[in-house]
Amino acid sequence: MLGWFLFIAGAYLAGSVPFGLLLGRLRGVDLREHGSKNIGATNAGRVLGRKWGAVCFVLDVFKGAVPTLAAGLWSGAIHDSALSAEREALWTAVALAAILGHVFPVWLRFRGGKGVATSLGALLALYPIVTLPAAGALVVWLVSLRVTRYVGLSSSLAAAALPLLVLAASLTPVWEERAVAPVLGLTALLAALVIWRHKGNLARTLRGEEPRVGS
Categorize the per-residue pLDDT at 62 as very low, low, confident or very high, splitting at 50, 70 and 90. Answer: very high
Instruction: Tell me if the pTM is above 0.95.
Output: no
pLDDT at 177 over 70: no
- What whole-number distance in Å separates Cα of residue 61 and Cα of residue 46? 18
Q: What is the pLDDT of residue 182?
A: 85
Q: What is the mean pLDDT of the chain?
A: 90
Q: Of 149, 142, 146, nearest to 201 (Cα)?
A: 149
Q: Is 147 exposed, middle or buried (0-12, 13-18, 19+ CB in 10 A)?
A: exposed
Categorize the per-residue pLDDT at 211 as very low, low, confident or very high, splitting at 50, 70 and 90. Answer: confident
pLDDT in tens, 118-167: 999 999 998 878 888 999 999 999 999 999 999 999 999 999 999 999 99
